[in-house]
Structure 1
Amino acid sequence: MDIALLNRGCNRTCSDTMVNLEARKLFETANRLSAFYLHDALTRIEFVEEIKQVVEKEQGGYDGSSRTLIVNLYVFFRTARICKTTLAAE
């Protein structure tokens, strides 16, 4: 489904919305994880800024015909959830 949405010009708005949604989910997860696990404020800010830079870099290279951004954001999001689950279990 992602391929169909991202390869057609008429669905550009929909694909942009999907990209932005994944980016917001990633920011939210980064903020939650940093607030819970990072007690040093400077480290917390640096972590969130690093995530923000990665997302902005990926969005800058997004041309609407590629699935790269959504796939990368999905991988980051899933990795963050796995880390959160692992750390919570410890």
Structure 2
Amino acid sequence: MLQKMNEENFQEKAFRFRDRQAGVSVIYDPFRSAYTYNAYCLETKIMKELFTVEFDFLDEALELMNDEFGSWELIELSEKSSGCSSCVAK
């Protein structure tokens, strides 16, 4: 059974297929004092945006993600480590 992106997991998960990643990011517009939702697809090796659509409502962004990329693997986005624990100079 394929997992779906939803209101509870969209900030921690993304769809992945080979070197491509698709997800939803939150954007704040200070001129409108409002948040929008950016549905995107990236080529991760070259960090090139292949697809992007901005929505006023999260449910619309999630519907697009699940319809277009729902057959891809839903992965957990990991937090980047901070500090010197991963420092090469160690």
Please give the range of the TM-score, normalised by the shorter of the 2 chains: under 0.3
TM-score, structure 1 normalization: 0.27
Higher share of residues assigned strand: 2
TM-score, structure 2 normalization: 0.27
Per chain length, whose mean CA-contact separation is higher, i.e. which structure has more relative contact order (CA < 8 Å, sep 6+)?
1
